[in-house]
A and B are shown apart, each in its own frame.
Chain A
């Protein structure tokens, strides 16, 4: 595959691995967090860690859209389908996220809920157009990458004058999650999560640009290297992070320059700003309630806001007691540190959300790397 295989070339990987080995200081260790689930997946799927020196450790971050979705939000979606009788559309990974009462959207579907997997928010709008007598709700999740398409869907529905389309908006913001990690006592006070830098988001950065990360580099003295989702991108970013650490620099660098610039996609940003506004508070799984960390639909588009159209109270629900997703999402624990990893909690019967998506740290380790644990 042209323009893909080039970024998965094993020979180039060997050269890069050798360069990283030459450059690391054997007298210290390097701990880098890959923020995005896309990076976590690439690292596990291609076996990137096998090519890294032992003193370069990768910590999985919280950038997996379904992993940070709190149970209460999935419960809302399930209630919409089962109690309000709406046609609920969402992205595939969302269907298996465990919710209250042993349910998930997939199980709610088996109980008779009209729940559909869509590949795009436009499919949900089309469904509403085709079925004027059904209320269609798009359960919108994800970071900045998936937000502009939701904005487009809402504007499209407004232009079409659709009375049966609405959005349950659960879009969240990357910089808030990074702040929360940097502000956590584990990183800031106790030092139990050593963190020398970030592999910065790929697709998110195509929208927001590299500028929002500059604050983290300056304020927290953490280098950030924005990287693409291919394994060579990750290797190159790790090399750049090692160089920054060695030289005592803390800057935002961009490895993914083929898609990201400093300002990002201004058209998409304008669209998002037109349709959405900041929520004062939003609960994240693992990171608790973070102020100004998520978006809601502006009052101008209130008729497309499922939270206003339907009686939908938000109820916060605690995670399963044994589940360590919270600690794993903050980088405090690794999947294999969780007592129920791979035993009670498996991709078939996930207890926590990190075992659901292929971008989740637990699912990635279970699916690709668990041979290393035995």
Chain B
């Protein structure tokens, strides 16, 4: 005579437990991790399918946009966010600035042996909250574990898929002489928040990362009817690098007005202290918009009426230039180049 024992598996010890190699083995431990942590927080009808890939409905008319972004930020938790919400926002923004409506995300986790479940849970919850708020579900994912010392806690790669409706495509190739350049808010907040948090500096500051999903702001901007030619999120390398990329892609030159650039006093002071230039410091919740001259004010008003664009400003203009230089009239009254970022200003900021 036999008695079937009650189906009981001891749950993951989220509070005190740590990732071990078995959690990436593909076996029972991994299944448990997925079920009790990833699926618990990120769960949705597509993830629940439980197959190797997600079966998604046809997105309707238009073209697909796909973007991917790996996140290795250090520290994992910083004022204003963490690697979890950052990995959601970053990829949504990459899809959104193409003119697309972001629809789905995938998430790949590389975990380091010994990483605390408590930290992982915090990160996954933050991802879930960001994805929920944005209305873009994580529909498929992957987990790998590497030996202690071969990773740095957790790395997250997210891929986003969206659909761009016919005629709504945007590209960095479309800036034209005469266009006006706008930014959606203050520059350098994310990079300096990370920098301030790094232990080797140890200065206290009220600088908070701006990490945010921008598709809502973009929808509001497009609803204004303004003739937008280019959108881009100035992440690594900051505004300077992003504008140089666009200038090269579009074959134009640009002239910025230093006095018009929005930078918070705290970021300005921290940059001054460390010898950094806010123009090269990363943003994770800001965008650059380039639009036809006659629509600039209309677009600015639309940006300012959205919470993520409250500090939006017109910062420069596009002109013909065979050398594709981005230049700036300094607050001092002189002129200078705003060059590509050279070397690395701040490593591992996203």
Query: Residues of A at under 8 Å CB distance from B?
Result: 1, 4, 8-10, 13-14, 17, 44-51, 96, 118-119, 123, 231-232, 347-348, 358, 363, 366-371, 374
Asked if B11 lies at the interface with its beta carbon under 8 angstroms from chain A, I say no
Contact of A367 among B274, B275, B335, B337 (CB under 8 A): B337
B265 contacts across to A, CB distance below 8 A? 1
Query: Residues of B at under 8 Å CB distance from A?
Result: 200-201, 259, 265, 268-269, 272, 274-275, 323, 325, 327, 330-337, 339, 342-343
B274 contacts across to A, CB distance below 8 A? 119
Across the two chains, which residue of chain A brings its CB closest to B275?
A358
User: Is the pair B333, A51 in contact by a Cβ cutoff of 8 Å?
Assistant: yes
User: Is the pair B332, A8 in contact by a Cβ cutoff of 8 Å?
Assistant: yes
User: Is the pair B268, A45 in contact by a Cβ cutoff of 8 Å?
Assistant: no
User: Is the pair A44, B331 in contact by a Cβ cutoff of 8 Å?
Assistant: no
B323 contacts across to A, CB distance below 8 A? 371, 374
User: Is the pair A46, B334 in contact by a Cβ cutoff of 8 Å?
Assistant: yes
Which of B274, B330, B334 has the most chain A CB within a 10 Å cutoff? B334
User: Is the pair B337, A371 in contact by a Cβ cutoff of 8 Å?
Assistant: yes
B334 contacts across to A, CB distance below 8 A? 46-51, 231
- If over half of A's interface residues share one DSSP class (helix, strand or loop), that class is named, otherwise mixed; here it is helix
- Other than the given A1-B268, A47-B335, 13 more pairs (CB < 8 A) read A8-B331, A8-B332, A10-B330, A45-B336, A46-B334, A47-B333, A47-B334, A119-B200, A119-B201, A231-B332, A358-B275, A367-B339, A374-B323
User: Is the pair B342, A123 in contact by a Cβ cutoff of 8 Å?
Assistant: no
A119 contacts across to B, CB distance below 8 A? 200-201, 274
A118 contacts across to B, CB distance below 8 A? 200
CA distance A1 to B278 in the complex (A): 14
B327 contacts across to A, CB distance below 8 A? 371
CA distance A2 to B20 in the complex (A): 52
B336 contacts across to A, CB distance below 8 A? 44-47, 368-369
Across the two chains, which residue of chain A brings its CB closest to B347?
A117
CA distance A8 to B272 in the complex (A): 13
How far is the CB of B180 from the nearest CB of chain A, in Å? 21
How far is the CB of A16 from the nearest CB of chain B, in Å? 10
How far is the CB of A369 from the nearest CB of chain B, in Å? 7
Across the two chains, which residue of chain A brings its CB closest to B201?
A119
User: Is the pair A48, B332 in contact by a Cβ cutoff of 8 Å?
Assistant: yes
CA distance A220 to B333 in the complex (A): 35
User: Is the pair A50, B343 in contact by a Cβ cutoff of 8 Å?
Assistant: no
CA distance A8 to B333 in the complex (A): 10
A13 contacts across to B, CB distance below 8 A? 332-333
Contact of B330 among A46, A367, A370, A374 (CB under 8 A): A46
How far is the CB of B105 from the nearest CB of chain A, in Å? 33
B268 contacts across to A, CB distance below 8 A? 1
CA distance A48 to B335 in the complex (A): 8
A370 contacts across to B, CB distance below 8 A? 337
Across the two chains, which residue of chain A brings its CB closest to B331?
A10
User: Is the pair A123, B200 in contact by a Cβ cutoff of 8 Å?
Assistant: yes
CA distance A374 to B334 in the complex (A): 18
8 smallest beta-carbon distances between A and B, as pairs = A47-B334, A347-B342, A46-B332, A50-B334, A368-B336, A10-B333, A367-B339, A47-B335
Q: A1-B265, A1-B268 are in contact. Are A367 and B342 (CB under 8 A)?
A: yes
How far is the CB of A19 from the nearest CB of chain B, in Å? 14
CA distance A13 to B336 in the complex (A): 16
A366 contacts across to B, CB distance below 8 A? 339
CA distance A1 to B265 in the complex (A): 6
CA distance A47 to B343 in the complex (A): 23
